[in-house]
Structure 1
Amino acid sequence: MEWMARSLERRVNPAEVLPGCRSVICLSYDYDSSVSRPSGSGSICLYAHGRDYHGILEEKLADLSELLSIYGGEQKGYVDAGPVMERDHAEACGLGWRGRSGLIVRRRGGSRFFIATLLTTLELEPDAPASGTCGSCRRCVEACPAGAIMENGLVDANRCLSYWTIEHRGAIPEDIRPLIGTRLYGCDTCVTACPWNKKPLPDADERFRMPFRLASISLRDLLSLDDAGFTAMFRNSPLKRIRREGLLRNGCIVLGNAGTPDDFDLLKRLCGESPLVAEHAEWAMERILHRHAAGGCPGGAEDEK
């Protein structure tokens, strides 16, 4: 992604971020979920099921920073933000190894965790890098619906469905839309395909579990929320990041891939939203008409894997 090239020197040299930085501390915090939305109703990736993780982890970093200050340290902490190469630091600190999918993988718990990074002026004894590799396993590569995984620990953002449904602000290219299937926010395909993620994480923080209202609300009702309703539902959720317009855009794509003519009234109403949403709503109606005129139904690469 283009924004990662900004301030490159600061990203690769922690001392440019915190003058006098002598150590980098990386911490992991598990997430897991036993609750999800019904199939076809618009899936949400695991890390975004519950509360926004930024504030929760920032509080924990603040507590650790306060402790280190007693020993004379000056600290700066980051949670999935700021000019730090968190995955590079996490690998060097021994949290896990960089998997073929680009995610940091641990022997216990796989890749289902958040990373928090704390820079400090204290000189601390370093941990050894974690041992382990993905070996010959290529399950994430083979499962990725868009062919985004480049096998060398890198992901092509121009193909990644998480990028398009979360990071990208404008129109989603038409060749990408069918690949999104029924994904409303993010994509967990490489996570769920990884054998290290097969076991549940019973001790994961329950604040990251999906609340009943979000798990039970239909896609139609979700896309019918007004600005106030969207704010109320997602005030403390990572989904607030894409704003209501992004949710409507993604929802139109889901309907285009899995909806029926019964969704036309909703899609016509959405045509009255912003030009961005209207474009995707019109595309969705065309897709539904074509699919039903041909006597087909959603399937193949268009469904979630």
Structure 2
Amino acid sequence: MPLFTINPDKCNKDGLCAADCPAGCIVFEKGALPVPHEKKQAYCLECGHCVAVCPTDAIELARFPVSAVRQDKALKVSFAQAEQFLTGRRSVRSFKDKPVDREQIASLIKVAEFAPSGHNARPTRWAVAATPEAVATIASATAEWMRGEVEAESPVAAKLHLAGIVRAFDNGQDMICRHAPVLAVAYGPKQGVTPLQDGVIATTYLELAASAAGLGACWCGYVMAAASLESTFDSVLGVPDDCTVYGALMLGHPARRYTAIPPRPEPSVTWL
């Protein structure tokens, strides 16, 4: 099967697709239609650069036989808007007692699928506890793992102050998942090109998308710690044996709104 198809009625034969292909999979000769490279086409990343750069929507990837979506120039974000959005982002740990629509969660995860990925491997998968009850089950399992660490007087118990977290949990205060209505867990293969980095970036994309959608989000470090340090904990999250957790995000409608941007120290930069 060819890598792509070209609509000869749309192609203006400018060679942009070949020039922009990061793997050199496309051959272009002036005056002719682009064609797959005889040998290099095997290295196609399916990244879509050829589709994105084509000004006439003339190219279509074989794996994704759908038309490209043109970017809306009216939605272009200015640097000032991006700066305020990014600097104004807050980790939200207090949520309203209000469910989050499952379709909205799915749409946010769909956006996260566009996160950068090494070799465009996109190995990140998601396990989503989409109800407060499901999140509470995970929080309880995490608390039991913590309890075992505290009883064993392990170094991690002291480092992460687990005794206090367990006491609070026993008293009805969930400092693990913060009574969030949704917990999205990013996982991927233990081996691969860059599965850890891909999972972290995808989770970050999800956090930013959630913020733009008016939801609050916060990384759930205790669940990630349990998944990392307890070999049987992945089963609680529905993560396959050959995979591991790379990110976990609490999601919900924020109980409070943040209207100011707190200061940060000047960045440390070494100019080379």
- TM-score normalised according to structure 2 size: 0.26
- TM-score normalised according to structure 1 size: 0.24
Higher Cα Rg, which structure: 2
Looking at secondary structure, tell me which structure has more helix per residue. 1
